[in-house]
Amino acid sequence: MRRVGLLVFLMAMASVVFTGLASAQTSHFNNNSRGAFGVWDGTASYGALPYLYTQVNASQSARDGKSVHVSQTAYDFPVTRSVQIEGGGSTKAGDDVSLRIARNLSGAEVSGSDLPATRCVYVDQVETGCTDITIDVDVTWTGQGAIERYVQGGLGIHTNYLRRDAVASGSAAGQALPLSEFSYGGLFVSNFGF
């Protein structure tokens, strides 16, 4: 899974590079970023919707500031009803987001309050209505295992990507995200430029 993510990241960066190389102007681009992501698959406190799937992605870069995104779905099985929440915020947009990611990938913490989100209800996979809401998020990651390093260069392009598996727990959008329901996640530091 993480190799697929790295491949997608490198392909996206390559498209930026080759587009830039094709232009008549000489340009220089450098993007340094850090991030954390996690996925939980467990139980919800939505009453008749006992299952919960949650993704939390947090990132920080000099260009884009600090940001967090939450995607959460509560559902029954077989899936006849579900509630989906999408939302998050960034310091660039003026939202209340706090993010700390250790440079050595030992851990990370993200928190935010009153972040803009949308809550949609589905019955038999048909949307029955959406509401604008606000959500809070508070998640802590702990790095585990070895740090993987990917370095690539040539033609004036350089990529330096560090990644480490992590476990995480916390809460998002009013739902507990316990370690016992954590599926997978990780921490990364990326430097890409040309």
Return the amino acid letter for 37. Answer: F
For the residues 180-185, what does the mean pLDDT come to?
Answer: 96
Can you give the pLDDT at residue 130? 97
Q: Check pLDDT > 80 for residue 10.
A: no
Q: What is the pLDDT of residue 152?
A: 79
Task: Give me the long-range contacts of 157-161 (CB less than 8 A, separation at least 24).
Answer: 157/14, 157/17, 157/193, 157/194, 158/191, 158/192, 158/193, 158/194, 159/10, 159/13, 159/190, 159/191, 159/192, 160/190, 160/191, 160/192, 161/6, 161/9, 161/188, 161/189, 161/190, 161/191, 161/192
- pLDDT for 161 equals 87
Cα distance between the two ends of the chain: 27
pLDDT of residue 11: 41
Across the range 37-52, mean pLDDT stands at: 85
The predicted-structure confidence for 51-99, as pLDDT tens digits, reads as follows 999 999 999 988 889 999 999 999 988 878 899 999 999 988 888 899 9
Tokens 């967090």, residue located: 68
Looking at every residue in the chain, the average pLDDT score rounds to: 84
Beta bridge partners of 141: 108, 168
Average pLDDT rounded to a whole number, residues 12-27: 42
List, in sequence order, every beta strand (DSSP E) within 44-125.
Answer: 51-61, 65-75, 81-90, 97-101, 107-123
Quick one: pLDDT band at residue 38, thresholds 50, 70, 90? very high
% the chain with pLDDT above 70:
82
Q: Looking at per-residue confidence, does 3 or 42 come out higher?
A: 42
Task: Give the amino acid at 5.
Answer: G
CB 113 within 8 A of CB 96: yes
Contacts of 163 (CB under 8 A, 6+ apart): 2, 6, 105, 147, 148, 149, 150, 186, 187, 188
The one-letter code for the residue type at 190 is S
- pLDDT tens-digit series, residues 104-149: 999 999 999 999 999 999 998 899 999 999 999 999 999 999 999 9
Domains of the chain, by residue range, sit at 2-193
User: Does pTM surpass 0.85?
Assistant: no
With 60 as the cut, is the pLDDT of residue 43 above it?
A: yes
Indicate the pLDDT class of residue 30, thresholds 50, 70 and 90.
low
* Cα 109 to Cα 34, 67, 137, distances in angstroms: 12, 12, 10
Q: Tell me which H or E stretch contains 191.
A: strand 182-193
pLDDT at site 23: 41
